[in-house]
Chain A
Amino acid sequence: MAPALRLEGVRYAWGAGNRAPESVSGAGNRAPGSVSGAKSRARGGFALEVDALEIARGERVFLHGPSGSGKSTLLALICGVAAPQAGRVEVEGEALSALSPARRDRFRAERIGVVFQMFNLLPYASALDNILLPLRFAPARRARVGRGARAEALRLAQALGLPEALVLRAPAAELSVGQQQRVAVARALIGGPGLIVADEPTSALDVAAQGAFLELMFAQAESAGATVLMVSHDPALAARFDRSVALTQIARTSREAAA
């Protein structure tokens, strides 16, 4: 069975960056060659190179590095939001780098659950609506939960310790940060995607809540059979994972490769 994740000779730079591969694959979205923001907002032309990284299915991997070291950039490549200028990104055997931007978006919707540091939720929708949101973009995931989508969302929410009344009615903006993070985990897990990618999901929580949050996330990911890749600038959390990787070990970064 193909590993959950494999990166080979990946090279990516913001700015000059995402033009070439996107215009090659062309289908669906037009190349963002006209995106003025890409160039002008390239803050110092950050470039990232990863020779190799492999994560087995079901593994729980912790990736740490200081702020600004390129962790989120790496996750953007893994999620297919950005495409590398060189190299290969494979998720569960599918080579993302060979897909068009639209196909990558679809792949992400179907196969990857994403949790951010904070502001994970659409503030005006209920927690339930937020949990169900990815199904809107992922027909296969929707088909997997079938008619029971609502029940499944409530089950996940309950397993993550969220009171039902809160999930059903309150707008997401009224939830505490810890509750919002758990709703985000439920959203990442619904419909059973193979890979959960979490970008500093505990940074906004206090230390006591961090442990509890990780336990809940791990338990649910395990019962869904999902691989977990979490990045954080805080090495103290490493002990709870199967494996810990420092970004500096696997990646070279540079700032002068400006566009």
Chain B
Amino acid sequence: MSLMRLAFLSLLNRRVTALLTAAAIALSTCLLLGVETVRTGAKASFADTVSGTDLIVGARSGSVQLLLYSVFRIGDATANLTWESYEEIAARPEVDWIVPLSLGDSHRGFRVLGTTGEYFERYRYRGGRPLGFAAGAPFDDLFDAVIGAEVAETLGYVLGDEIVVAHGLASFSEHGDKPFRVAGILERTGTPVDRTVHVSLRAIEAIHVDWTRGAQAPEGARVSADEVRAMDLRPQAITAALVGVKSRLQIFGLQRWINEYPQEPLLAVLPGVALQELWAIVGVAETALVAVSGMVVATALIGLAAMVFAGLDARRREMAILRAVGARPSTILGLLVLEATMLSLAGALAGLGLLYALLLIARPWIDSAWGLWLPVSAPGARELALLAAVAAAGALAGLPPAIRAWRMSLADGMTIRT
């Protein structure tokens, strides 16, 4: 009978306590792995959102701030970028494509983005996938709108529905005189695009022609929706621009040129670099989260040690028998460490299984609640290393009671004490 089998049978004999202990280890391992998955999943999803863009350009502020408001629609721009600057950048020889972004208005809680049709061609998510239309097409008419999947779902919009854009992000003044029409509905992307109403840059200009300082002109001085079509709707300023360069080698040159632009203070950032900065900022919270889940695993392992300790007195007879048939005290030590290791490994594996089950069940819900599509893939080196670490820590937790048993078997010899 191998030592492994002996340990297994002994655990089986105490299956209730053993199972409870393993369950605690499983839950804590699941939590630890879950935090890891969400952490890496969130990072990957953020990175996916900016895939394909070489530079983000805006008025000079912080690079994280620029990234957050331009791509993730979090927070607001403090200043704009003039149309002249935009056109000058667009004319640079390094620039392959450029897409303007104009933010500031909203529709029933969703942000309205003014841009050009090129946005739908250039935007890339999840490792280079282009946007797809679930229905309709990019905007054609001045008052056409293209809505994200979540906007359509939440508000129940179909093609042809009328949309009224509100001025600002949380205000009661609406651009009611110039309604839009839903011309296209995008496929779900798991990015902020899902929660955005897209209109043309000219339309943004059009609904604001008769507004000054956040208020519309009095009744008589207003411009009607039909009159506006005839006007020159070139914007004065935009919020930001996404830029693609012809060659990756030119990114830094163009970035320097923009950052040193003499006419107005501008900022160009590499999305990846800005993301790194963002992760550095949230790093503390991340570390805290990992530390807490690590602590939970430690607690479960202390429970394991307590279980082995509690069983020692009842198992003195077993130890005397093993000693009588020739087991060395160190064999008894090894046996207890083996038990602890087997139990923690079983717990850790169960935790991994539990995580996969939870991921599969909760994935659609997490996606719709936070736009986070968590990847379900075979456990990688990192997960396996974590599992091994839990098992090793289990062995370590089994060591104190095992040492106690070793001392007991030395003192007791073959004397059976119960």
Residues of A within 8 A of B (CB): 28-29, 32, 34-38, 41, 72, 75-76, 79, 81-82, 101-102, 105-106, 108-110, 114, 116-117, 119-125, 129, 132-134, 136-138, 187
Contact = CB atoms under 8 A, between A and B. Distances in A.
B328 A132 contact: no
26 contacts: A28-B330, A37-B407, A76-B415, A79-B414, A82-B413, A101-B329, A105-B326, A106-B328, A108-B326, A109-B326, A114-B414, A117-B416, A119-B416, A120-B321, A121-B321, A122-B6, A122-B10, A125-B1, A129-B5, A132-B1, A133-B321, A133-B325, A134-B326, A136-B2, A136-B325, A187-B325
Contacts, number: 100
Nearest to B407: A35
Nearest to A107: B326
B325 A114 contact: yes
A160 to B, nearest CB: 17
Contacts of B412: 37
Interface of A, helix, strand, loop or mixed by DSSP = helix
Contact of A124 (B12, B325, B408, B413): B12
B366 interface: no
Given A32-B411, A119-B416, A119-B418, A114 B324 contact: yes
Given A81-B413, A136-B1, A123 B13 contact: yes
Given A35-B411, A114-B414, A137 B326 contact: yes
Nearest to A141: B326
B360 interface: no
B318 interface: yes
A174 to B, nearest CB: 13
B330 A137 contact: no
A124 B410 contact: no
A63 B1 CA distance: 33
Q: Counting chain B CB atoms within 10 Å of each CB, which of A101, A136, A138, A187 scores highest?
A: A136
6 nearest A-B residue pairs (beta carbon): A109-B326, A124-B13, A137-B326, A37-B411, A81-B413, A134-B325
Interface string B324-338: 111111110000000
B325 A119 contact: no
Given A76-B415, A119-B418, A136-B6, 20 more contacts: A28-B330, A37-B408, A38-B410, A72-B414, A81-B414, A82-B413, A102-B328, A105-B323, A116-B320, A119-B321, A119-B416, A122-B6, A123-B318, A124-B10, A125-B6, A125-B9, A129-B1, A134-B325, A134-B326, A136-B3
A32 B3 CA distance: 24
B39 interface: no
B303 to A, nearest CB: 22
Interface in B398-418: 407-408, 410-416, 418
Contacts of B13: 123-124
A35 B413 CA distance: 12
A205 B101 CA distance: 94
B317 interface: yes
A121 B407 CA distance: 22
Given A125-B9, A136-B2, A81 B411 contact: no
Contact of B324 (A28, A79, A136): A79
Q: Counting chain A CB atoms within 10 Å of each CB, which of B408, B411, B418 scores highest?
A: B411
Contacts of B326: 105-106, 108-110, 134, 137-138
Contacts of B407: 32, 34-37
A189 to B, nearest CB: 12
Nearest to B321: A122
Contacts of A138: 326
A119 B317 contact: yes
Given A129-B1, A132-B1, A137 B415 contact: no
A216 B17 CA distance: 40
Contacts of A114: 324-325, 414
A35 to B, nearest CB: 5
Contacts of B414: 72, 75-76, 79, 81, 114, 116
B324 A41 contact: no
Contacts of B317: 119
B329 A137 contact: no
B415 A133 contact: no
A37 B409 CA distance: 10
A164 to B, nearest CB: 19
A73 to B, nearest CB: 9
A57 B411 CA distance: 31
Q: Counting chain B CB atoms within 10 Å of each CB, which of A35, A121, A124, A187 scores highest?
A: A124
Contacts of A132: 1
B328 A28 contact: yes
Nearest to B324: A114
A114 B416 CA distance: 13
A76 B413 contact: yes
Nearest to A110: B326
A132 B6 CA distance: 12
A226 B163 CA distance: 100
Contacts of B411: 32, 35, 37-38, 41
Q: Counting chain A CB atoms within 10 Å of each CB, which of B9, B413, B418 scores highest?
A: B413
Contact of B410 (A35, A72, A123, A129): A35
Contacts of B3: 136
Contact of A29 (B318, B329, B415): B329
Given A102-B328, A110-B326, A124-B9, A32 B410 contact: yes
Contacts of A106: 326, 328
A37 B322 CA distance: 19
B415 A72 contact: yes
Contacts of A81: 323-324, 413-414
Nearest to A40: B411
Interface in B63-83: none
A130 to B, nearest CB: 9
B328 A105 contact: yes
Interface in B1-42: 1-3, 5-6, 9-10, 12-13
